[in-house]
Amino acid sequence: MCSCGEGIKDLRYTALEKMLENYQHCPEKIIPVLQETQGIFGYIPAAAIQQISNALDMPSSEIFGVVTFYGQFHLQARGKNIIRICSGTACHVRGGGQVLDAIVKGLGLMNGRTTTEDLMFTLEPVACLGACGMAPVIMINDDTYGRISPQEVPAILAHYKEKEGGQVWVA
Ligand code: FES
């Protein structure tokens, strides 16, 4: 089997086509269509927007406007595991910056990238996670880690890589 990912891509576009058969000429269904599209791809690819435009009879510029308006939709591929790191004041003064550095290093993120090449992780800074008393705080998916140190980061990341059966990258 080809390892370039094209086979998977084709299957996803086939699934998109099939889903869109249920929404022909229904621009009022744009939100559920985008939700289902994101369910298929993990994000909303530009090529999918064109297909949705054709099926729903809705200009692609309007679809793009909807996608960018709602925070639930993403135009870029995201990792299976979403790491939210707090950049709020309490976390910052208690070493959040060093924790961030350890995560960036542990994931091998270079040149400002926020998603790993294997699509295992996406790193997202947030203003406050609402757990300032536990600063510095990160969340991975629905799990919260408070009062963490940079030294703990490799083991935490390894836990999620092991869950997926992936290769553990240790800094
Ligand atoms: S400042 Fe980090 S959780 Fe509030």
- pLDDT tens per residue across span 15-55: 999 999 999 999 999 999 999 999 999 899 999 999 999 99
Q: What is the mean pLDDT of residues 94-119?
A: 93
User: Is residue 4 scored above 90 in pLDDT?
Assistant: no
Its domain, for residue 142, covers 81-163
Q: What does the pLDDT read at residue 170?
A: 37
Q: Which residues, 6 or more positions from 123, have their beta carbon under 8 angstroms from its beta carbon?
A: 83, 85, 103, 104, 107, 109, 114, 115
Same domain, 141 and 92: yes
- Give the Cβ contact number of residue 6 at 10 Å: 9
Write down the pLDDT at residue 161. Answer: 86
Ramachandran angles phi, psi of 98, nearest 5°:
-70, -35
The whole-number pLDDT of residue 165 equals 53
Q: Which residues 6+ apart lie within 8 Å of 98 measured at CB?
A: 149, 150
Percent of the chain residues past pLDDT 70, beyond the cut: 89
Can you give the pLDDT at residue 124?
92
- What is the β-pairing status of strands 138-140 and 121-126? unpaired
Residue 159 covered by a domain: yes
Residue 126 Cβ inside 6 Å of ligand 1? The answer reads no
Whole-number pLDDT of residue 25:
96
Q: Given ligand 1 and candidates 84, 85, 91, 124, which is best to mutate, with the most ligand atoms within 8 Å of its CB?
A: 91
127 with 150, same domain: the answer is yes
163 alpha carbon – ligand 1 mean position (Å): 27
DSSP 154: H
Q: At residue 171, does pLDDT exceed 80? A: no
**Whether residue 137 has its Cβ less than 6 Å from ligand 1:** yes
User: What's the rounded Cα separation, in Å, for the pair 90 and 14?
Assistant: 48
For the segment 96-125, the average pLDDT, to the nearest whole number, is 93
* Closest approach atom of ligand 1 to CA 86: 2
Domain shared by 35 and 105, yes or no? no
133 alpha carbon to ligand 1 midpoint, in Å?
8
Residues in the chain: 171
Tell me the binding residues.
86, 91, 128, 132
Tokens representing 44? 């909303």
Domain membership flag for residue 3: no
Number of domains present in the structure of the chain: 2
Shared domain for 92 and 63, answered yes or no, is no
For residue 162, what pLDDT is reported? 82
